[in-house]
Structure 1
């Protein structure tokens, strides 16, 4: 692709020879020079390039094999790289090795340097809080489960915060729970990560209170029918995930209409709509004994007809009716015993 490119050939054990070399492509090679390939025991490819963005002349990069080619190319940065030329890296253990460089401080032109990679340090932290009020939840239980068998538990303080140190090359599940709230799970992994990282921001836990019905805002039905529309799938699959994460709860699906039909019609329509949600959940593996349904018609409107009548535009009035048309679920119990599979 340019000056010097890196190629890969595979050994054919059956015919006892090497296959045809294949260019590693534009993820690795550039219009300039890529040289000194080295594959560590981890399977990661190390090489030097003066065509990829770097600190000086030749910089050392790493790449990970993905689907038969190398990608996720990263500059090793300082102190592994310098303003000079850095190349010829090799490891003699997982964390120690050698490289060649003409950086300042050497004895001649190209010197051999030894290095030790400090262990990467990982952590995850966040805040547990009420989804609606945004207030921190003190005393919430945050548990950590690792693919290595790790199982830890901490309680949040007054600020709702938690923090865990993580191990390298490990997958984790983190859960947050508190009485009167739905339990929530998040996942974090350090697999394939070489650089230290604090996992923050995306690892807060907004918990939903079960003290009142919880709305499912993206449930849609065909006009005047109980048929679920395709765009409802994401919301329903999210509810299935909630039920999986809270295996002891039982719930009631509740459907509501606006007031623009007879009471009898709206009760019937909302009953059929609530049942269609239950049918979807059962079809997708939720135990029917955890579910019930009820249609409330127009008996529990959020916006009254008088309030809607005072609105000045048709758009405002329609938005008022839309607030009344909704699907929710209420948690009825927390002591369901899942059946053995």
Structure 2
């Protein structure tokens, strides 16, 4: 009995001891589970291959280690490796549990365990415990790895800085809500389940541009080094306080299966600075893209003053556009403090051209022996935000703020922005609005949609910014946007402060100006008279937005037009040339050709005109002239008039229809009235009006549309008093092209209305003499029937008395003449008066 009791006690003791026992992946530990052991061992082996490749492949190693851990979670070495991999991932918070377990299972599993434990506690802001673990690690390596001690001591110092900075945070938390940070996730319209980071904003917070690693990346590829999608650049617009659905900027900014990332943006949002992974030379460089209307230009690589054969990671343009701050590891050509430092270049005039100066290191006040990775110059032009591993960082990269003193020409001592902007992890993304009310940054937080998300911080209400955003639109007198050059000048010194351009598609512009000066704004654009605005921003004026809208008055640009008129045999003709303002229908020029058939005239550029050339005995010719605003001379192609004969045709170039319809536009009336006049002067003439289209659309559709349009013309002519029997119409669709349908110009020529003489009696024409002359009136050789009836005296003329007789009979109801026929006779009578 006693033996059995002892055996049971021993068994229970062994079971409890096994709970904290390291279990190796051996057959003796997994009897009956050989298949699972084999698979787990294979996963560890595969994981170890990636683990040995370096930290950039830890994400791949972690996948296999976690599978092995599902089989056996009581192995110290495996837990140590899993914890280590997590520390180099986006899910660092998962590291501590595995590292603590590794220590519990085998405290001697690896000397570096205590360093990683310190780092894991550090990331959780358990400062004192982290310091204890770092101190343990120091003791363990003191005799064998002295070179590692400075790095450990830095981590200890970071924890001490963290303790001090959190004291400030504690004091800060007791302040009223208006004086505290408010952090908001930007929401699902901006963020995704994938990493979203590196936000940049226009000064007025109208647009947000950022980097993301999403499934819809250009090319759809993944970076083999970290297993994530390649970086692309996305944009979201602030639409009355609501951020629009973010969109991939696409071509030409984003490239296929390469990293494309945001670096910076100009205050007006018209220039974007991006990082491109230049794989061909092994470095990353900074490129500039310009917004032209609504489209971004092809990225242009910044000059050698900024880009080098080394790595450039961030850039920020000053509000006046004259200085670029950037981060570079080009410390071989331009010695600095750490691996990456912050530099600046400024615009200089060299040989009459604007260039960027040689890089200038910002010096030891800003740069440290450690890395400075990102930089942002505020729209006030003097407040610099940057990330650094040095100064009093609480861990990794922290964000700092320094202000430039114009009097001393020095930067202030950098201020750590503290928690929650900074954490013990890397914090590199931080930009501030012009108003100073909001900041935008990326962080991994519990309320996120994916890995990193973009957040907006509402800064304390006592944040004061002394600048004015001058914003507005530049438009012409018809409210059309104008691309204009906007020059800001210091009224006192005459110095040009800033030069910007308004957007060609929207007319919008934005300029950031410091308080305490009088300014002059000069606005110029090709083809317009310059405009000027003066305004004063008093010293001490706090942030405000000043709306300035500019109306540009177009210069009256005159264009010379010239050409020649001949018959079909190139014999010069003395012809009448009329030019009509198509917008009003008014004849603004009426001239005649000289003996050589030549003509010359001047017109205001930037308008649309109709042109009609006519001569006795010939069909008139019409043209449509669309004159560009900057045109100085326009040569009109030779015009060859056709005699009024059967079979001759002309294109009616100034007949217009509503889009996709057969409705005549009002500006067609002058052309239609000219056709009516020709028909009245030639009463025996029978014509066909034909409609033609281009090749777009089906044959049936085009035949119907062209016929309906031709009918509309005939209907108008009938309403103008032309005999229906003299008119025919037909639609030919695209069966009779006069130019190629392969070009827009050709298709435009094919969309036309034609007038063709089908039949005419050359002896049946009307001649005129003035009614004021003795026996004057209309001499008729072959009068139409209704006019013949009006010739009561049978003398071949229509007199005034005969017209009065017609009208009296009509009014008495005794005439078989219609009002239209009487009107036609009257027109014949008075036409030459």
Query: TM-score when scaled to structure 2?
Result: 0.20
Query: For the pair shown, which has the larger CA radius of gyration, 1 or 2?
Result: 2
Task: Determine which structure has greater relative contact order: mean sequence separation of CA pairs < 8 Å that are 6+ residues apart, divided by chain length.
Answer: 1
Query: TM-score when scaled to structure 1?
Result: 0.42
Higher strand share: 1
Higher helix share: 2
